[in-house]
Amino acid sequence: MTEHIANPPEDRPDDVLVRAMGSNQTIRLIAAQTGGMVETLRKTHDCGPLGTMAVGRVASAAVLLSATLKGRQQVGFQINGDGPLREAYAIADADGRVRATISVPRAELAGDDIVLGAGFGQGRLSVTRQLTDEAPYRGIVQLITGEVAEDLAHYLHTSEQIPSAVSLGETLDASGVLAAGGLLVQALPGADNAVLGPLIERIESLPPVSEYFARGGTPSDLVTSLMDDVEILETRPVNFVCPCTREQFARRLCTIGEEELRKLTESLEDTVVECHFCRTEYTFDKEQVGALLYGARMYDKAD
Ligand SMILES: [Zn+2]
């Protein structure tokens, strides 16, 4: 898809997220280079091209939304559709750690065209912001195109009342992900229409964001090329990280209840549970499942 690759995947630049402001703090600019993360997701979930685009774009969208998070805050970005991909879900935190999953990684469409919107079909986008230890804030909108960028812009405008331009994409070849990333530009209160017009023209004249990165451009280059007075506030690394642990899955087994757990101890097979985000399999033999029965009784009592 791309004629010239300045940084082939072997010496791929580190993934990075840049947060900047322009025009007297009235324009927020966020750019993320995510090719390494999306390639890791492709391999982890053994995705076909459509699945790679889906999980990559959802994960890159979560990265863009994570740019304003602090401390232990995190954001979830989920698309559920009636198309063959069904569901893709990503979580990103304030330290640039991202995990993502897809329900049908090798989904295919009839015909030769790979169209992400057709892969998701009709459905909805939900964004979950966990900003405090209290209940998370969740916003839901219907999908507009299923191409993710337009859907995220629509969500930010209607659900969070922030006019936003979003670009997301990835460049793939038969060997995998050559480049991926995203750009989010937001007009904050007080933004001047005289600034917005030329800015939107500039964004629309850009090459696709993954092509920009595939040709050697960086997120800093990208945001500073959009306006004259851009100040870069922060640069964060972006990495695929799954924080799952065996203890977490043992606790989850307890929640299925004493009766179900007892059935597992009577089964001839070991019990294997898989993390949907990193595909790690945790195996519990009969003795180990039996040891969880006390915990399951506690959960049953709590019901
Ligand atoms: Zn995991």
Record: fold of 246-302 = CBS domain Like (3.90.1280)
* 245 CA distance to ligand 1 middle (Å): 7
Instruction: For the chain, report the end-to-end CA distance as a whole number of angstroms.
Output: 55
Pairing of strands 231-237, 239-240: unpaired
pLDDT digits (tens, 9 = 90+) for 170-218: 999 999 999 999 999 999 999 998 999 999 999 999 999 999 999 999 9
* 243 CA distance to ligand 1 middle (Å): 6
CB 232 within 8 A of CB 224: yes
The residues facing 126 across adjacent strands are 78, 140
* 116 CA distance to ligand 1 middle (Å): 26
| Of 3, 24, 7, 10, residue with least CA distance to 230 | 24
CATH superfamily to which 13-240 belongs: Hsp33 domain (3.55.30.10)
Per-residue pLDDT at 7 exceeds 50: no
* 44 CA distance to ligand 1 middle (Å): 10
Q: Where are the domains of the chain?
A: 13-240, 246-302
pTM: 0.92
